[in-house]
Amino acid sequence: MEESCKISVSQLFLLLFLSRTFSLVAYSPSIQGGGERITLITTLLSGVLQGLALVAGVALCRRRTGSSPLIVPTGGLYQVLGGLYWLFCTVVCVYTAVNFISFVTAALYSADKASAFTAAVYDYRYGGLVAFTLVAAGALAASQGLEGLARGAGILTVLLGIGCAVIALGLWRQYDWRNLTLRLLSPGDTLRGTWQGFAMNGELFALLLLLPYLRGGPKGVSCAGWVTGLTLASVAVQLMTMLTLGVYGGRKAFPIFTAVTSAGFRTFQRLDSIFLVIWVVLGLMKLAVFLSLAANLAAGVFFRPWSVRWVWGNGAVVLAAALALWRGPERWMEGFHAALSTGAVTLLGVLLLPLLGKMMDGGRTKE
């Protein structure tokens, strides 16, 4: 890859920070499960686990042939590794699309003061239209290339900070500090809650896949700093919902949205519009990042040059899978979230597959 087309480490971290933030604000305990095991303590412990795993993964990707979790692009093993990473990225894209549809059709449609127009547009029967619009926009953004996405990450991060500050101020009068508690779970639930945070962070293996696109490799300290920023953002989201909704938040489909819709700040009678803009932009960013990775991996698996057709082709796969989950039996959606919560995708993508690649490259070097 030409040096002029590569991005900086800071751009990479901002890009993946925005991508991960979508999952933080879109988390739904009643839909995805596991909310009773997500506490401030398990979030902090999960941050430590994620930091250690990421540092280890980056170290495993440093080889004589460059920095990448994949091996030299020759032979069947490369196709197997590339195919698995393509599957992982596609799964994250489907997860993002399903979450987006669920939010639009559940959070907005169930609003008490929804107008007749809003109810018609966001009726569950129109989930296909919502999914098509999201995937088409994400594919269009991914078609601009990674460099284009990375250049906009800094501006979007600043706008995200301003929007979050406005929302936090709008919620100030709603805070009830008596709701602030540090729940102590049993050792087993603490471990499961810690693991769940790691399991749902697909940006960890996305960072490894994006290493070849960097001008210089990230250091362990910078990786730890990025994970720390994500952990603090997660803690801030939990504190906001805890102080605003208390135990009631755990029973809502989208507790962040519920908290925001109850706030007012001077000229902003409701903060729905600000939250929706933030949420949509973050969703598009996450989908564009993983769709871009999936397209690059698919082209590499078949040893074909990258083109925009790979992006749109993978977008069609994501759209079909997301609609199948959305329109299929409820147990399909439950099984999908349960499979992601096992952490198999993240564990393989961050540690096991890079370790296998390291071993294979080491064996070839000795030969």
Give me the tens of pLDDT residue by residue for the chain, a chain 367 residues long. Answer: 444 468 888 999 999 999 999 888 877 665 555 566 778 889 899 999 999 999 999 999 887 766 788 776 677 888 899 999 999 999 999 999 998 888 777 655 554 444 443 444 445 556 788 889 999 999 999 998 888 888 888 888 888 888 888 777 777 777 888 778 777 788 888 999 899 889 989 999 999 999 988 887 788 888 989 999 999 998 888 888 888 877 666 666 677 777 777 655 544 455 666 777 788 889 999 999 999 999 999 998 988 888 899 999 999 999 999 999 988 888 898 899 889 989 999 999 999 999 988 887 765 544 4
Is position 103 within any domain?
Answer: yes
Separation between Cα atoms, residue 28 and residue 103, nearest integer Å: 9
Measure Cα distances from 233 to 167, 226, 282 in Å. 14, 11, 14
CATH number at residue 265: 1.20.1740.10
Would 35 be classed as within a structural domain? yes
Q: Check residue 263 and give left, alpha or beta (phi > 0: left; psi -120 to 50: alpha).
A: beta
d(CA 348, CA 340): 12
Of the candidates 362, 277, 349, the one whose C-alpha atom is nearest the C-alpha of residue 57 is: 349
Looking at residue 267, its pLDDT comes to: 43
What pLDDT was estimated at residue 28? Answer: 66
Long-range contacts of 231-237 (CB under 8 A, 24+ apart): 231/43, 231/44, 231/46, 231/47, 231/50, 233/17, 233/20, 233/21, 233/24, 234/24, 234/43, 234/47, 234/197, 235/40, 235/43, 235/44, 237/24, 237/25
What domain range includes position 71?
3-360
According to the model, what pLDDT value does residue 149 have? 86
Q: What is the pLDDT of residue 26?
A: 77
Q: Look up residue 50 and give its two tokens.
A: 């994620």
Asked whether 238 and 43 are in contact (CB, 8 A), the reply is yes
User: What's the confidence (pLDDT) of residue 108?
Assistant: 57
Assess if residue 366 is contained within a domain. Answer: no
- Structurally, the chain folds into a number of domains equal to 1
Residue 365 covered by a domain: no
79, containing H or E segment:
helix 75-102
Structure tokens at 346: 């993240």
